[in-house]
Amino acid sequence: MDWKWIAMKTHLKLEYLEIDYRDIEKFRALVLHDIPHEVVDRRVKRTFKTRRNETQEISGGIDIKRIDGKTATLFVYRVFSTDRFAMSIH
């Protein structure tokens, strides 16, 4: 399987992506089933960029590592009363 972002063949400058899909476990089962990834324990807290270059403390998430060492973290965070599903590259 050729995972283009992991292999550095596409979207090299991507820093943040937000999609309208809120069930991270379903996303993991449907999309990440054959992509190497690591589920981060919910007790682990990290700070990531979100919309408009703001930062947000995130609990847990799902990490995907690229061959150059960069990591994409998929996570759900709350804005007002709405959950957002996002990916931050760090």
What are the tens digits of pLDDT across the range 4-22?
Answer: 777 778 888 888 777 776 6
Q: Is the pTM of this model over 0.75?
A: yes
Whether the CB-CB separation of 24 and 74 falls below 8 Å is answered with yes
| Residue carrying the six token digits 């994409």 | 72
User: Distance between CA atoms of 49 and 54, rounded to whole angstroms?
Assistant: 5
What are the phi and psi torsion angles at 84 (to 5°)?
-120, 140
Considering only residues 1 and 82, tell me which one the structure prediction assigns the higher pLDDT. Answer: 82
